[in-house]
Amino acid sequence: MLLRTLLAVAAAAAIAAPLPAQAPAFTRQEDVIYARKFGTALTMDIFTPKEKKNGAAVIFAVSGGWFSSKASINLGFFNEMLKRGYVVFAVVHGSQPKFTIPEVLEDMHNATRFIRLNAAKHGVDPDRIAIMGGSAGGHLSLMQGCAFKPGNPKSKNPLETVSSKANAVGCFFPPTDFLNYGKEGLVQLGDGTLKGFWAPFDFHEPNKEKGGFKPISDKERRLEIGKQISPVYHASKDSAPALIIHGDADKLVPIQQAELMIAKLKEHGVPCELVTKKGGDHGWAGMDKDILTIADWFDKHLPAK
């Protein structure tokens, strides 16, 4: 019951923008398969403005508490992007409790690569792909901006021939460092503040002796994985420009997480900005207005060529 409640809260916070009274004219292509794993199709919905396209794309990471479902696609979150001419790709990843964060990250790599590989089909410049999300969706967005995989032109897998990098990031209240969560040295890998989210941190590996999978319980290995899935450790001069909007009263994801990320990006000279919402918790009324700020960020860092 506690897990379901926390998932509901996180998912609601991540898609808190209200549905617009009047949406721009667009077409919606539903259930586009971008990859498969374990016999399961992974899908996205593609929203294309009818009146104008600016040649750029926005990936909407459909994720709250690393829970993802088509039902959580909320037009209110990216309505402004459609109005400005962005083609929006709403990506549904393999969801917890079935899949862990490392597995979710692979889905996001595949989705971003799929979009880049098929950019021309949708009238999109493959070098003008932004990503946005809230909470877990914000975490995934920063990972695509910082921990991307380069393309390998020699790969036999078409997806792997192109990079999984997002070219600009705009997000709300993202976790960024699971090894220093709220304060230095406080590890939160499905425990403590995140105890209601054990499943995404239930790391496992193939069991070569018996088949199937076995849990990874070794503390040092779990810490290493925790580091690998934390955006702050992947910041570099090649990271995408990033905007973070975060409430200073957030009890689930402390604003310290955003501050750490911004400080690390600045160390590497990456354009970045933190917008602090005074009194804001994990979501707040009027988030739709803050989405305008994200749209402005994308306009600035994805200019037409």
Give tens-digit pLDDT for 232-288.
999 999 999 999 999 999 999 999 999 999 999 999 999 999 999 999 999 999 898
Question: Which phi and psi (to 5°) does residue 297 adopt?
Answer: -65, -45
Q: What is the Cα–Cα distance from 103 to 120, expressed in whole angstroms?
A: 28
More confident residue, 20 or 140: 140
Question: Which phi and psi (to 5°) does residue 46 adopt?
Answer: -115, 125
Taking 70 as the threshold, does the pLDDT of residue 87 lie above it? yes
Taking 80 as the threshold, does the pLDDT of residue 105 lie above it? yes
Q: What is the Cα–Cα distance from 146 to 166, expressed in whole angstroms?
A: 8
Taking 50 as the threshold, does the pLDDT of residue 7 lie above it? no
User: What integer pLDDT is reported at residue 52 of this predicted model?
Assistant: 86
Within 10 A of 198 (CB to CB), how many other CB atoms are there? Answer: 14
Q: Give all strands of the β-sheet with 242-247 in edge-to-edge order.
A: 26-37, 40-49, 87-92, 57-62, 129-134, 168-172, 242-247, 272-277
Q: What is the Cα–Cα distance from 72 to 15, expressed in whole angstroms?
A: 7
Q: What is the mean pLDDT of residues 154-163?
A: 95
CATH topology of domain 2-176+230-301: Rossmann fold (3.40.50)
